[in-house]
Chains A and B, each alone.
Chain A
Amino acid sequence: MPDFLHFEFMRNAFLAAILSSVACGIIGTYVVVRRLGFISGGIAHTAFGGIGLSYYLGLNPLAGIIPFSLAAAIGIGLLSRKARIAEDTAIGAFWAAGMSIGVILIGLTPGYAPNLFSYLFGNILTVPDSDLQLIMGLDCLIIAMVWLFDKEFLAISFDEEYARISGLKTVALDLLMLCLIALTVVIMVRVVGIVMVIALLTIPAAVARSFSRSLYGMMALGTLFSCIFSIAGLWLSWVFDLASGATIILVAALVFLVNALFGTGKTRRTAC
């Protein structure tokens, strides 16, 4: 066993990295092919309101994050799809309002808020066993939903109009997918924090796309890339004593950059 795995917090951190990569690879694939990166960012930042609320009420932060991120997913989804409001406007409103609720509620709570920073930028080194179980449960839920709605999710991702003509309830399916993104956000807040969630939801899947021939292939490869980025980032942060979440993101971003610069030639060749 490598020396850093002798510590329990380090073993938990690695388990968290691997378990969260499953959700990242699967849901990130939909985020990338449907271009839902910005809406995912909106959901994540709205969840800060939930952190503020649970802090104010003295509850476990997850008790606030889960309802807030689900509400953001449904709210942004309904506003932009039913109420003829431009999607980026709806996202911007939720994003800022959620953050504001968080800031005000934390301000109203007496005393200093010590863990705030870890929710914004993640702290994978403090993941308790109970969180690992929760992440595992959410992973199972996500896999089950994606397996059940396999052909419907593929259809709305590739050609939403055709899905609608074929009799699918596209708005409901869309909202369901946004809720799955919200649950993935809940997982990722622990690992990399609210601010950096979008990176892990998009980069592993985007890199995987250049090497995949099917959506399932992209999910599997995205999960693998996410694992590699998180473990490499975690190890580097241990060796050089850096912030873990930020190091994970920078490893991912570096690979993304290299792939974007040198990988495009390959995709263009296979396209002909």
Chain B
Amino acid sequence: MTEPLIACDRLCVELGGAKVLDGLSLSVHEGDFLAVLGPNGGGKTTLLKVMLGLVKPSSGSVTVFGKEPGQASGRIGYVPQRLDFDRSFPISAMEVVLMGRLSRKKLFQRYGREDRQKALDALETTGLASLAQRRIGALSGGELQRALIARALAGEPELLLLDEPTASVDPEMKTTIYDLLDQLRKQHTIVLVTHDTGTIGRHVSRIACLNCTLDMHEPGSTLGRTALEKLYHFPVDVVEHRETQTPHRHA
């Protein structure tokens, strides 16, 4: 068995004295498309931030590409939940996507032709090529989300970490984003944090339920009402987790 890209072992995280993650063990292997489900405050974003090296665990261990988190920035593409930015910031979509090349650049090294080409490719993949010169504040919610995905892709990462990419977009855009992820999973290992219990099962290869502690659900199993109600503490839709080797197509 190959070495996992991400390995968490009995990971605990405390933020401001409260335990956010408790004894979590998880491994993500190359080619996985893992969805992490769970209620707000269940530690989903914190888990991603631990993987990115932004939050230090209080006990337990994490390795990402066999190293301490934060040491492999060039191999990870991160898509934040939503960008708290000033909509009047004078910057084009292209310039934002170019930031995805930052981890591959040295200090004082300027963005070159290759960087621009990779950024354009990423905009092409996410369907935003025609909006490259648009001011970032003028993009719609769905376009902004895709621009953030493009920024992550521009760095040519092996691993994509996405924080609720469909939380702030309308249902149609949600389908577009999932179609995009179906396409991206062919070349990338993906970890996705989401609330989307409804459609997620059709797209991903593994599901983890996170509410301070973690339950893994492997392919073929159905995540029943009891498991989800235990997770969310109130009734939710059943997540059917079918194996989908054939890519999902949206009619």
B126 to chain A, nearest CB (A): 17
Instruction: Please tell me if A8 contacts chain B, counting CB pairs below 8 Å.
Output: no
How many positions in chain A have a CB within 8 Å of any CB in the partner chain?
31
Tell me whether B88 and A267 are in contact (CB under 8 A): yes
**Residue on A with the closest CB to B72?**
A167
Q: How large is the interface on B (under 10, 10 to 19, 20 to 34, 35 or more residues)?
A: 20 to 34
Tell me whether A272 and B138 are in contact (CB under 8 A): yes
A112 to chain B, nearest CB (A): 47
Tell me whether B91 and A168 are in contact (CB under 8 A): no
CA distance A213 to B92 in the complex (A): 7
Q: Across the interface, which residues of B come within 8 angstroms of A157, CB to CB? A: 89
B216 to chain A, nearest CB (A): 26
> Known contacts A158-B99, A165-B53: does B83 contact A217 (CB below 8 Å)?
no
Contacting residues of chain B (120-141) with chain A, CB-CB under 8 angstroms: 135, 137-138
Instruction: Please tell me if B1 contacts chain A, counting CB pairs below 8 Å.
Output: no
Q: Across the interface, which residues of B come within 8 angstroms of A272, CB to CB? A: 138
CA distance A158 to B89 in the complex (A): 8
A195 to chain B, nearest CB (A): 27
Instruction: Please tell me if A236 contacts chain B, counting CB pairs below 8 Å.
Output: no
Instruction: Please tell me if A271 contacts chain B, counting CB pairs below 8 Å.
Output: yes
Tell me whether B54 and A154 are in contact (CB under 8 A): no
Q: Across the interface, which residues of A come within 8 angstroms of B110, CB to CB? A: 150-151
Instruction: Please tell me if A162 contacts chain B, counting CB pairs below 8 Å.
Output: yes
Contacting residues of chain B (54-99) with chain A, CB-CB under 8 angstroms: 54, 70, 73-74, 76, 78, 80, 83, 85-92, 95-96, 98-99
Task: Provide the main secondary structure of the chain A interface.
Answer: helix
> Known contacts A161-B54, A164-B54, A213-B135: does B91 contact A154 (CB below 8 Å)?
yes
**Residue on B with the closest CB to A208?**
B90
Tell me whether B95 and A214 are in contact (CB under 8 A): yes
User: Which one of B78, B88, B90, B111 lies within 8 Å of A162 (CB-CB)?
Assistant: B78
Instruction: Please tell me if B19 contacts chain A, counting CB pairs below 8 Å.
Output: no
Instruction: Please tell me if B52 contacts chain A, counting CB pairs below 8 Å.
Output: yes
Tell me whether B86 and A33 are in contact (CB under 8 A): yes
12 other A-B residue contacts (CB within 8 Å) besides A163-B99, A215-B90, A270-B138: A33-B90, A157-B89, A158-B91, A159-B85, A159-B99, A162-B102, A165-B78, A165-B103, A166-B99, A209-B90, A210-B88, A267-B88
Give the A-binding residues of B (Cβ under 8 A). Answer: 52-54, 70, 73-74, 76, 78, 80, 83, 85-92, 95-96, 98-99, 102-103, 105, 107-108, 110-111, 135, 137-138, 151, 155
